[in-house]
Amino acid sequence: MFVRGLKRKCFDGEEDIEGTLAGIKAIPSYNLQRQSLLDMSLVKLQLCHMLVEPNLCRSVLIANTVRQIQEEMTQDGTWQMINTQSTGQASLDRLVSTDILCRSSRDQAEGKHVPAYGTFNKDFESDQAQDSSETMSTASSVQAPRNLQSNVWEMESPQENKGNFQKSLDQIFETLENKSPNSVEDLFSEVDNSYYDLDTMLTGMMSNTKMGHCDSLETFSSPTNTASNSNCKSDLNDLDHIVEILVES
């Protein structure tokens, strides 16, 4: 996790990696990498190819990766920290850090002493065993057993200060049927809803996922009141798009 105030010196450039890393605890580096991987994965899931249906296999693999990271973060307690911290500029920084992640991988190839995921996992397992009882109780209090698929939680308390990426993740996995209806769905209300399920959500083609896309980007800057704005904006965009298609056909 990228705590504000921590110098980023150690990740800039490849020259001083060995020296500076030795002086910094291994754990923040792993958390940073993991967080960057999570952000990168979420961006990948949300980037929708506007015209062609994206690859379901790729989407499923990315989603599984996200789930894996989430499970690990839930186990070692960093998940709850993400949720309670204020959403602000830190989120933008997390997106930026994907470059850091991949630079570190390159360093590995050149033989520099940057640990791989594998070794860190081993280190964490021993910690997790000790902390699990603590994290479980704190986790539940913050509604953190983040079952990726649980949209029930989202329906009950749609507050904006939940973790941003958790919100966008749920939007990705929710089916259209369960979301609050909008005018787009009304237009297609006679249509068999089985079309509008996870695969189309993953493709990002349906309006709600588009909304999620805009939503998550916007909440990085202003987390509190974007839900309704983005609803309206994307509704209008989708209406235009649909009218275009209807007119053309």
Residues that bind other proteins (CB under 8 A): 34, 37, 40, 44, 51-53, 55-58, 60-61, 63-65, 67-69, 98, 101-102, 104-106, 108-111, 116-118, 121, 148-149, 151, 173-175, 191, 195, 197-201, 203, 205, 241-242, 245, 249
Place of tokens 């980037």: 47
H or E segment to which residue 68 belongs? helix 56-76
Q: Which CB atom, from 144 or from 172, has the smaller least distance to other proteins? A: 172
- For the four alpha carbons of 200, 206, 212 and 217, in that order, the dihedral sign comes to positive
Minimal distance, residue 34 CB to other proteins, in Å = 8
Minimal distance, residue 125 CB to other proteins, in Å = 10
Q: Which CB atom, from 98 or from 219, has the smaller least distance to other proteins? A: 98
Q: HSE (CB half, 13 Å, CA atoms) of 122? A: 4
Cα 159 from Cα 147, distance rounded (Å) = 18
Cα 172 from Cα 176, distance rounded (Å) = 10
Minimal distance, residue 76 CB to other proteins, in Å = 14
CB 220 within 8 A of CB 230: no
Tokens of 176: 């259209």
- For the four alpha carbons of 128, 133, 138 and 143, in that order, the dihedral sign comes to positive
Tokens of 243: 């009218």
Q: Which CB atom, from 31 or from 203, has the smaller least distance to other proteins? A: 203
Q: Which CB atom, from 70 or from 87, has the smaller least distance to other proteins? A: 70
Minimal distance, residue 5 CB to other proteins, in Å = 26
Q: Which CB atom, from 173 or from 226, has the smaller least distance to other proteins? A: 173
Minimal distance, residue 144 CB to other proteins, in Å = 19
Q: Which CB atom, from 55 or from 140, has the smaller least distance to other proteins? A: 55
Minimal distance, residue 221 CB to other proteins, in Å = 24
Cα 88 from Cα 106, distance rounded (Å) = 30
